[in-house]
Amino acid sequence: MNVFPKGFDTNLRLGIAGALVILGAVSGAAAYLLHPQQLDTGYQPRQPVPYSHKLHAGNLGMDCLYCHATVDKSSYAAIPATETCMNCHHRVKDKSPKLQMVRDSYASNQPVPWIKIHRLPDYVYFNHQAHVTAGVSCVSCHGRVDQMVEVMQVNTLNMAWCLDCHRNPAPNVRPAQFVTKLDWQPDIDAAELGRKIIAEKGIHPPEYCSGCHR
């Protein structure tokens, strides 16, 4: 007497194969969706004040250093103090309801709770000054923020992405005076110009672990 019905072995094998296919598909989808390239790129939080980089840096031509004044002097890029905003907005749109939080911040001496977009893990050391003074433009990491109404993360900023640049930095190196000129285009091939600057400055981006993990 057969314990299992006829065709049980075939159905069991088909069931296992189907389960493996489904498991593989789910694992592949999860790996794709949870990959840093998917999680980080496109991150665009809604800020407490609707500040437009396209208006300020693009249309009005304000230099990045006016607000982020420490990028060429410090390891971090400072978020501008409310006083910097009020240099203009104590007269410009001084009654706009969109800027009420800025006015309240100025009156109370409490910072606007801006949301940080470009975040690196605590175990990563990154120095803005070293990159900016070497001639790496804001565009290389942050994209054309002068064309963004709301800033978003356009690059993964993961280790593989950083190492790609460290191994071949020439295309991302420009004369230091044009670092914050986001629409700048070289008269010659960008990589050729970058190699020339790298040779002149003796730039050697680290590829060893302690260069970025200290």
| pLDDT tens-place string over residues 83-134 | 999 999 999 999 999 999 999 999 999 999 999 999 999 999 999 999 999 9
- Burial of residue 132 (CB within 10 Å: 0-12, 13-18, 19+) is buried
Q: Please list the ranges in the chain whose pLDDT falls under 70.
A: 1-4, 6-8, 29-39
Cβ pair 52, 151 in contact under 8 A: no
Mean per-residue pLDDT of the chain: 91
Q: Among positive and negative, which fits the CA dihedral 82, 88, 94, 96?
A: negative
Give which of 86, 71, 194, 97 is closest to 186, Cα–Cα.
194
Query: Of 14, 74, 45, 15, which Cα lies nearest the Cα of 151?
Result: 45
Indicate yes or no: pTM above 0.85: no
Domain definitions of the chain by residue range: 8-34, 53-79+114-211
